[in-house]
Amino acid sequence: MSALAELYQKIAACRDCEELANTRTQTVPGEGPENSQLVFIGEAPGFHEDQQGRPFVGQAGQFLEQLLNSIGMRRSDVYICNVIKCRPPGNRDPLPTEIKNCQKWLDQQLELLSPKMVVTLGRYSLAKFFPGETISKIHGKARRQGNVSYFAMYHPAAALHQQSLRQTIEADMLKIPSLLAQVEEVKEVKEENKPQQLSLF
């Protein structure tokens, strides 16, 4: 069993948030290739995700898939997960303690995946990787930390029905392929021990 599959088992057994553990149908750890260079992180599972145990399988997920298609990718090419691994009842906002309890799973996931680029979708993943920042200011820009580039996008569910946001999220998605290529370039530069130079923010 892979380390990621072992992690999924631990997540499935997690009862750190009593209410979520008692009300969930199942945990939704995330899915995608274990060697994915690109990881998308949403907020929390909703009704359909809780039923199926898979992230982004509802309307927002269909839109995310369309956005991926616009850059020549399929859903199965990327890794998709959420900040919270259980559905908050009634799709309420996750509580600060729930976010804190669940943090260890996302951290371990990212460590195992070791992606080149992390894309935040919506406010909870934004708050984790861009603390104190506002989405209207930083969406569509990348920030590099170590060997990973972080890129903030609006949540597809928010952008789906609001025309101006929809155009924004579509335009932001189109920036991802070149940013991903740029991270690779920086890695090569690092191997030759030259100073790193990527600052996109």
| Cα gap 191→109, rounded to integer Å | 25
Structure tokens at 163: 């025309």
Give the list of residues 6+ apart from residue 137 with CB closer than 8 angstroms, or none: none
Closer CB to ligand URA, residue 77 or residue 189?
77
Closer CB to ligand URA, residue 83 or residue 176?
83
- Closest chain position to ligand URA (CB): 42
DSSP string, 20-87: HHHH-SS----BS-TT-SEEEEES---HHHHHHT-SS-SHHHHHHHHHHHHTT--GGGSEEEES-SSP
Name the minimum Å distance from CB 32 to ligand URA. 12
Name the minimum Å distance from CB 82 to ligand URA. 5
Name the minimum Å distance from CB 60 to ligand URA. 5
Name the minimum Å distance from CB 179 to ligand URA. 22
Largest CA distance in the chain: 53
**Contact residues for ligand URA, defined by CB under 6 A:** 42-46, 49, 55-56, 58, 60, 82, 122, 157
Closer CB to ligand URA, residue 17 or residue 60?
60
